[in-house]
């Protein structure tokens, strides 16, 4: 499993029922990481400063720049200056493209690339509710830091045998990049696996999960309307408010046995 997100201690003034006292509080570290790729400044990721190799590899994997570790010729991180230097086999576009594409019409609509839509593959997916509840319970057990001071999102990928990958970061989207990177390093196939997360599910998170081949996404909170729409397109079962023994199913309920 990846290391926990780093934290620092901050002196604070605590007020409780009108009483003032000096105290200390653990807080999340926010780390801006500049990306220099093939000699070009590409972007800056705002993330947690631990296990940056998983984050970087997953980020470029889900952006579509790499498929295997062999697509990375070199990678180095200077933690003092917050700079990651990479050489990739692929030529990069002039600017990073969003994970989703938008089209014209009565409003903005989001659609997944055609290669992520495979009905024959999706029809064989089947999950059991008790497996999903157990996986969320395992995620909660790993998220000690989230309970200690808040501000950290956690996510995990698992199957019938339990949790396979775990990641946490101050950014919800970064947790998926971290999972994608660690899966590549460890040779773990996320196809048709379950993804559980502590935070709200956005359309970008669904698009990243679809690229990994995940068949079910579940959160302790709610998905956005665009996230539900994309889940319908990709054949992904979307579950929200998964707490205790209750949940709400927003898309493809036939794939989840209750």
Active site residues: 104
Longest dimension (CA), the chain: 63
**Beta-ladder partners of 16:** 19
CA 57 to chain centre: 13
Q: How far apart are CA 58 and CA 81, in angstroms?
A: 21
The answer to whether the beta carbons of residues 8 and 29 sit under 8 Å apart is: yes
Q: How far, in Å, CA of 247 to CA of 226, rounded?
A: 19
3-state secondary structure of 236: coil
Cα separation, 55 vs 48, whole angstroms: 9
151 Rama sector, left if φ>0, alpha if ψ -120 to 50, beta otherwise: left
CA–CA dist 31, 112 (Å, integer): 31
């Amino acid at each position: 499993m990846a290391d926990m997100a780093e934290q620092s201690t901050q002196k604070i003034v605590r007020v409780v029922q009108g009483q003032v006292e000096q105290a200390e509080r653990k807080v999340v570290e926010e780390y801006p990481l500049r990306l220099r790729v093939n000699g070009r400044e590409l972007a800056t990721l705002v993330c947690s400063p631990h296990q940056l190799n998983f984050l970087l590899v997953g980020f470029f994997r889900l952006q579509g720049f790499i498929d295997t570790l062999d697509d990375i010729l070199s990678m180095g991180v200077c933690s003092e200056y917050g700079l990651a230097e990479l050489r990739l086999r692929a030529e990069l576009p002039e600017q990073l493209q969003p994970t989703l594409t938008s089209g014209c019409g009565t409003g903005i609509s989001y659609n997944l690339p055609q290669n992520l839509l495979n009905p024959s593959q999706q029809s064989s997916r089947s999950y059991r509710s008790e497996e999903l509840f157990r996986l969320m319970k395992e995620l909660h057990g790993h998220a000690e830091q989230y309970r200690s001071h808040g501000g950290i999102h956690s996510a995990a990928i698992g199957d019938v045998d339990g949790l396979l990958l775990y990641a946490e970061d101050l950014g919800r989207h970064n947790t998926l990049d971290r999972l994608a990177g660690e899966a590549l390093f460890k040779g773990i196939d996320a196809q048709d696996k379950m993804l559980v997360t502590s935070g709200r599910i956005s359309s970008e998170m669904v698009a990243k999960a679809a690229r990994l081949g995940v068949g079910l996404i579940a959160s302790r909170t709610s998905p956005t309307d665009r996230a539900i729409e994309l889940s319908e397109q990709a054949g992904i079962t979307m579950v929200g408010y998964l707490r205790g023994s209750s949940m709400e199913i927003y898309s493809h309920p036939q794939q989840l046995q209750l």
